Structure 1
């Protein structure tokens, strides 16, 4: 299987004649594009259904519902329908809050940097792992 990197695609976009894609890279790019288009189609269909079913409401309802679905997924982590419910609710809340995918991506990049700097306890399966707060950094 061929893998294609973000950097390789950026090089191709800057100068396609000098940085042509191999057949394998073309196929991988087509596979990625098709998966993205399928995901966007279901996202659009869900948004249309959600708006007609729940009306013009904000993101709080879907976020509260998400906590319920997360507990259900924790009880049955192999049940993909629970994972689908959580994804639908995240998409719905994001859309209703007016937050773009680009904004989420930037926030995720920023948050990952913060999380990588934090100290974490040893992993323990089935238990949440909260970062270790530094002395004097707690609001309590």
Structure 2
């Protein structure tokens, strides 16, 4: 399940502090398997329930970077959107995401440097009321002046 706002581009000239976009995605076993295949991260805590039962998580969890990828989706598809260039990202993983969890990834504009086309974004992922990931991204935003 993927629930999000319309995709596209918000040029830097139209961005405002506090502007926010999000998406929701239910993480499936298939998502975890595909991420393991693409990333080559086959840690059994993600793929083997019996192994994961004996870890601090007490069961399988999704890759942290799979969750972080949802932030990338919001940035690349919605805010600022198409044409955005990632410059940096900080991430703090606070709680596990499990198969079947619905993650909301939300990105909010914190600061805008119009002269350099740089935008600082607050990034938060939640499962219900639990913050599972937070950080900041720095991006180069698209501009109508460079179309």
Please say whether Structure 1 and Structure 2 have the same fold, judged by a TM-score greater than 0.5: no
**Which one has more relative contact order, counting CA pairs under 8 Å at least 6 apart?**
2
TM-score by length of 1: 0.23
Greater Rg by CA: 1
Give 1 or 2: higher helix fraction.
1
Give 1 or 2: higher strand fraction.
2
TM-score by length of 2: 0.23
